[in-house]
Chains A and B, each alone.
Chain A
Amino acid sequence: MKKAISISVNGVSHQHEVEPRLLLVHYLRDVLGLTGTHIGCETSLCGACTILVDGQAIKSCTMLAVQADGSEITTIEGLVQNGNLHPMQEGFWERHGLQCGYCTPGMIMAATQIIDRNAGPAREEIRHGLEGNLCRCTGYQHIVEAVEYAAKKTSA
């Protein structure tokens, strides 16, 4: 029995009939074709699927699409504005905050929330804010530097 949902994703509104059990991440990837949001563990431990739902960073592998009915969602594809990279995307590029890139969209989305909440986070605060996101390549140091870069650029 499918259920009708209405969701705004990256400023575009969508109406679909979906199975109640459809995961939000599968809705984004398979129904909307927004494959920038990745799946790394299906148990909300790795954070690769992190997106913003009504401004809050959440892990879209453990939220149902029907739970997001009526929400405004931002995914990695929605960060570029008028052709310009988001300062956090810029930071990851400038500071080599990614290698294989698989955790990166989730990392960037989680990191945007860190600086939304705290304009000048200390390194320990950045690390704390990234604790829900696993990266196997970078060892996190360049990611911390990327967030520092973005924080500085945003508050400038």
Chain B
Amino acid sequence: MANYVGQRIKRTEDPRLIKGLAHYVDDIRLPDTLHVAFVRSVYAHARIGGIDTSEALKAPGVVAVYTGKDIADRIGPVPCASALPGLKVPDYRVLAQEKVYFVGHPIAAVVARDAYAARDALDLVMVDYEDLPVVVDVEEAAKGGAIIYESFGNNIAYKLTAGEGDIDAALAASDHVLKQRIVHQRLAPIAMEGRGVLARYFPGEEELTIWSSTQIPHLLRTQLAIMLDIPENKLRVITPEVGGGFGSKLNVYAEEALLGWISMQLAKPVKWIEGRRENIQATIHGRGQVGYVEIGCKKDGTITGLRYNVFADLGAYHQLLTPAIPTLTGLMLSGAYRIPAIQINVTGCFTNKMATDAYRGAGRPEATYVVERAMDLVAAELRMDPAEVRRRNFPAADEFPFHTATGLDYDSGNYEAALDKAQGIIDYAGLRAEQKKARDEGRLLGIGISTYVEICALGPSQAMPAGGWESATVRIEPTGKVTVMTGASPHGQGQETSFAQIAADELGVDLNDVTVIHGDTGIVQYGIGTFGSRATAVGGTAMLIAIQKLKEKANKIAAHLLKTDASSVTFAEGCYSCAPAAATAEASEPVVPVGEAPAGAIPEPDTEGKSTLTIQEVALAAHVARDLPPDTEPGLSATYFFEPKNFTFPFGTHIVVVEIDRETGDVKFLRYVAVDDCGKVINPMLVDGQLQGGIVQSIGQALYEEVVYDEQGQLITGSLMDYALPRATHVPWLELARTETPSPVNPLGVKGVGEAGTIGATPAIVGAIVDALAPFGVKHLDMPIKPEAIWRIISQ
């Protein structure tokens, strides 16, 4: 049987997607479905004087209109899973109560017979607003500004200090201390499929089914059961095809609970499909930090300490993980370096904007950006090569597990190997010589480097807000087909394929005999979901161990059928044999494929007198169960819940070469080389895809993307006309390579790769632009770096 792991296997999920036959939420059609549209606040902060729904209720096709009063005591608050000490948690309801807190805040839900009628009636709902002072800027919010929640007394949701070592002493003893204000602008995740919910209640059975475009079906089920006060075992969440998430669907949203509740009121299916304008207004944003970094170093470039004082723009309320995101920034402030003293001081602030939460990388891109920008500042100050400053501060490959002053233990790594490889591919020395020549000619050529490390495989339950394990059930059906049920919830990552590769190898079966099922709480055992680059490292491991359990049982049954003892049975290439010698002797004997066995209610196993049995034949015998060892349960399935003992820490080096057009300030990429190490690779093609997508999202952050609110809290970038995403013409050819340092944290040796691109790339791109503009004395620029900003520097 083929060895699938490590090969570029084409995805098994693709045929339905490329034929247009897959089902996203909006593609699921139920008879008599009603459609929901939302009246959303046009003010960033206002008291609601009154809401008149009478005209809307008279509109053709309108069935009902609900406002905050209707749900006040009937649907619980939108949950926040973060439990930081002293955290202030606003009571955020699914429809606005007395006040609205941001543009896009849902005020009323219109239910109508079709989506056009629902949309028409929105304009007939009259909302009386009394506008209130707003606070938009996060630093202003920290200082005071307009107070959003009077009962809290100020806009500070929490303060947190973390880190090890004496940072004051470390900085005081440094030869140089460099300081920089760093802005991580707000970004919109923009999954190409927005959110969408379809809810159907059966009043007789008292069963509610919710189809939602989510990354966390089981956690969503638990939270919705609490919000709606219904038994969790009467609620089923189904995650059909999901058109991208990037963290934006790692959440529990007002609309999900409200749709369930409306379906229960009307006893009909109800559907809401988020429009793109709603998506930019009312789906979580990412990043949104303004921070001040101080880094200390010795004359030789040795880093002595790092402090980061950061104001986190939380938005108007907490979504599921809002306050937790900056804590991940704090964890990763050691980057790929030995830094004896580190301190982070977080001030999490409320502003009159949409909540921020996990967007691809979720706090770690911010950390990497801070550390990598700081390393560049050190290099510039000491007139050292930025690659050499980094190399000087790497822990050596034999120092792992490596303890950081942020309290982590990096599992494994060889940072120098990745840097060497990237420098080799791009001919770093030659490049620097070329840059010197270019500068002499007046050309603005820049080279940027990032040597990042990230934290993946989230994570040990003690360190997680809601359990960090993952689950799997593996079953071999009577006909020999293998069913894997994973608690992970892939939405583009390709785990239907990569998990099948692992399972097929372990069981010695054909890849096409394996089906991976996910995203349906009615079928799959409880799971945690897909986020934090965890699905393969944690969920894949759960599957692997479930398979091993299943094989232990199959081994026992096989021994019984082969009329020998379990210890003298061997398993190779999907077959149980009495002994290696016997197996060789019998290898030519044709094994009847189970699929061709005579048909009955269940086919009859044909095991008599054989010295070799396929695991699929054993599965059939286990189901027929007429000849099993004593005290053996019939059937062949196993379930495992895997609790990881540590996170994993992928790493790599990205090197970017840009040239800036003196006339226009336009940035042109000349080379992009990325050497990434995500541990053992299951499918190189999928890993390449994850990295390319992540790097291009980084290009978006570095050059184009920014959620902009004006001083009144109006969302200026409210459509894709204004919120600029990278297009095919904007991005260079990416030259990818890898080193492979297995993780000791899980038996697969995998680390995770979902977020590496958005973590590693941004500082390299910004570093390259800053380097290109070094002749103008530029040491740092804030993102997104637009041609206008560059042009102004050149034109000074």
Q: Which residues of A contact B (CB under 8 A)?
A: 19, 21-22, 29, 33-43, 45-46, 48, 75-77, 79-80, 85, 89, 92-94, 96, 98-105, 108, 123-124, 126-128, 130-131, 133-144
Is there an interface contact between B19 and A80, defined as CB atoms closer than 8 Å? yes
B424 interface hit (Cβ, 8 Å): no
Which 3 A-B residue pairings sit nearest by Cβ, starting from the closest? A36-B20, A102-B243, A100-B492
Besides A96-B10, A102-B192, 19 more A-B contacts (Cβ < 8 Å) are A21-B116, A38-B243, A43-B276, A45-B719, A46-B192, A93-B15, A99-B244, A100-B243, A102-B244, A105-B20, A130-B727, A131-B727, A131-B728, A136-B190, A136-B192, A136-B725, A137-B492, A138-B693, A139-B757
| A80 CA / B729 CA spacing, docked (Å) | 29
Contact at A33–B29, with CB atoms within 8 Å? yes
Contact status B243-A94, CB under 8 Å: no
Interface band, chain B: 35 or more
B23 on the interface (CB 8 Å rule)? yes
Interface residues of B in 693-720 (CB under 8 A from A): 693-697, 719-720
Specify which of B24, B273, B693, B719 is in contact with A99 (CB 8 Å cutoff). B693
Nearest-CB residue, chain B, relative to A108: B18
B695 (CB) vs chain A CBs: closest residue: A139
The residue in chain B whose Cβ has the minimal distance to the Cβ of A23 is B116
CB neighbours of A126 from chain B (8 A): 728
In the complex the two chains form, is A96's CB within 8 Å of B686's CB?
A: yes
Indicate if the CB atoms of B721 and A93 lie closer than 8 Å.
no
CB <8 Å contact, B491 and A100: yes
Residues of chain B with a CB closer than 8 A to A137's CB: 192, 244, 492, 689, 693
A37 in contact with B728 (CB, 8 Å): no
Asked whether, in the complex, the Cβ of A136 is within 8 Å of the Cβ of B21, the reply is no
Residue of A nearest to B24 (CB): A102
CB-contact partner of B697 in A39, A85, A104, A136, under 8 A: A136
Within the assembled complex, what's the spacing in Å between the Cα atoms of A29 and B276? 18
Give the nearest-CB partner of B719 in chain A: A43
Q: Evaluate contact between A138 and B692: CB separation under 8 angstroms.
A: yes
Q: Is the CB of B192 within 8 A of A96?
A: no
In the bound complex, residues from chain B placing their C-beta under 8 Å from that of A138 are: 689, 692-693, 696
Residues in A neighbouring B192, C-beta threshold 8 A:
38, 40, 46, 48, 100, 102-103, 134-137
Chain A contact residues, majority secondary structure: loop
A-B contact pairs, 25 of them (CB 8 A): A36-B19, A37-B20, A38-B192, A42-B275, A85-B19, A92-B14, A93-B11, A93-B14, A98-B18, A99-B693, A101-B243, A102-B192, A102-B193, A102-B243, A102-B244, A104-B17, A130-B728, A133-B728, A136-B246, A136-B693, A137-B492, A137-B689, A138-B692, A139-B693, A140-B696
B21 and A36 contacting across the interface, CB-CB below 8 Å: yes
Compute how far the CA of A38 lies from the CA of B273 in the bound complex, rounded to whole angstroms.
12
A80: B residues at CB distance < 8 A:
19
B19 near A144 with CB under 8 A, answer: no
Q: Which residues of B contact A144 (CB under 8 A)?
A: 728
Residue of B nearest to A80 (CB): B19
Is B685 engaged at the interface, CB distance under 8 Å to the other chain?
Answer: yes
With a CB–CB cut-off of 8 A, which chain B residues contact A46? 192, 276, 720
Cβ 8 A contact of B720, one of A38, A43, A128: A43
User: Within the complex, what minimum Cβ distance (angstroms) separates A62 from chain B?
Assistant: 13
Which of B23, B491, B689, B694 is close to A142, meaning CB atoms less than 8 Å apart? B689
Q: Across the interface, do A99 and B689 meet the contact criterion of CB distance under 8 Å?
A: yes
**Distance A3 CA – B208 CA, assembled complex (angstroms):** 39
- CB interface residues, B 445-462, toward A, < 8 Å: none
Q: Does B384 contact A (CB under 8 A)?
A: no
Which residue of B has the minimal Cβ distance to A43? Answer: B719
Residue of A36, A80, A133 with highest tally of chain B CB at under 10 A:
A36
Please report the C-alpha to C-alpha distance between residue A93 and residue B686 in the assembled complex, in whole angstroms.
12
Number of contacts between A and B (CB, 8 Å)?
172
Given A37-B20, A46-B720, A96-B686; A139-B244 close (CB under 8 Å):
no
B residues 3-34 with Cβ under 8 Å of A?
Answer: 10-11, 13-15, 17-24, 26-27, 29
Least CB distance from A57 to B in Å reads: 15
Chain B residue nearest to A85 (CB atoms) is: B18
Q: How far is the CA of A137 from the CA of B191 in the complex (A)?
A: 8
For B189, the closest partner residue in chain A by CB is A136
Given the known inter-chain contacts A40-B193, A131-B728, A139-B731, please indicate yes or no for A101 contacting B17, CB distance below 8 A: yes
- Give every chain A residue within 8 A of B721 (Cβ-Cβ): 43, 45
B740 within 8 A of A: no
| Interchain CB contact under 8 A, B729 and A128 | yes
Inter-subunit contact B720/A45 (CB<8 Å): yes
B242's partner among A36, A100, A123, A124 (CB-CB below 8 A) is A100
- What residues on B are CB-neighbors of A100 within 8 Å? 191-193, 241-245, 491-492
In the assembled complex, the CB of A129 is this many whole angstroms from the nearest CB of chain B, namely 8
Residue of A99, A103, A138 with most chain B CB atoms under a 10 A cut-off: A99
The residues of A that contact B686 with a CB separation of less than 8 Å are 96
In the complex, whether B603 has a CB less than 8 A from a CB of chain A is no
Complex Cα spacing A77 to B29, Å: 18
Which of A48, A101, A139 lies in contact with B692, CB distance below 8 A?
A139
Question: What's the least CB distance linking B283 to chain A, in Å?
Answer: 13
The interface residues of chain B lying within 8 Å CB-to-CB of A135 are 192, 728
B360 (CB) vs chain A CBs: closest residue: A136
Tell me the smallest distance from the CB of B438 to a CB of chain A, in Å: 23
Q: A76-B20, A101-B492, A127-B728 are in contact. Are A96 and B685 (CB under 8 A)?
A: yes
Q: Is the CB of B276 within 8 A of A40?
A: yes
What distance in Å separates the Cβ of B196 from its nearest Cβ neighbour in chain A? Answer: 10
- In the complex, chain B residues whose CB is within 8 Å of the CB of A29: 26-27
CB of B352 within 8 Å of the partner chain: no
Q: Measured between alpha carbons, how far is A144 from B729 in the docked complex, in Å?
A: 11
**B13 proximity list for chain A (CB < 8 A):** 101
Q: Does B734 contact A (CB under 8 A)?
A: yes
**A90 CA to B236 CA in the complex, in Å?**
36
Inter-chain contact A141/B21, CB cutoff 8 Å: no
Q: A137-B244, A141-B734 are in contact. Are A92 and B693 (CB under 8 A)?
A: no
Residues of chain B within 8 A of A19, CB atoms compared: 116
Residues on B with C-beta less than 8 A from A34 are 20
Beta-carbon contact of A42 and B193 below 8 Å:
no
Residue of B nearest to A40 (CB): B192
How far, in angstroms, from A48 to B505 measured CA to CA in the complex?
Answer: 37
Per-residue A-contact encoding for B365-398, CB less than 8 Å = 1, 0 else: 0000000000000000000000000000000000
Do A134 and B689 have beta carbons less than 8 Å apart? no
CA distance A141 to B694 in the complex (A): 12
List, in ascending order, chain A residues with CB within 8 A of B275's CB.
42
Q: Does B787 contact A (CB under 8 A)?
A: no
Complex Cα spacing A140 to B729, Å: 9
A29 CA to B25 CA, complexed, in Å = 13
A101 close to B241 (CB less than 8 A):
yes
Q: How far is the CA of A45 from the CA of B26 in the complex (A)?
A: 20
The reply to whether A77 and B246 contact each other, CB–CB distance below 8 Å, is no
State A46–B725 Cα separation when bound (angstroms): 10
Q: Which residues of B contact A136 (CB under 8 A)?
A: 190-192, 244, 246, 693, 697, 725
Which B49-83 residues have C-beta < 8 A from chain A? none
Q: With A43-B719, A96-B685 in contact, do A38 and B18 touch (Cβ < 8 Å)?
A: no
Q: In the complex, which residues of chain A have a beta carbon less than 8 angstroms from the beta carbon of B693?
A: 99, 136-139
- List the B side residues contacting A77 at CB < 8 Å: 19-21
Option from A35, A108, A140 in Cβ contact (under 8 Å) with B23? A35
Q: Which A residue's beta carbon lies closest to that of B16? A: A101
A75 and B20 within 8 A (CB): yes
Min CB distance, A33 to chain B, in Å? 7
The residues of A that contact B245 with a CB separation of less than 8 Å are 100
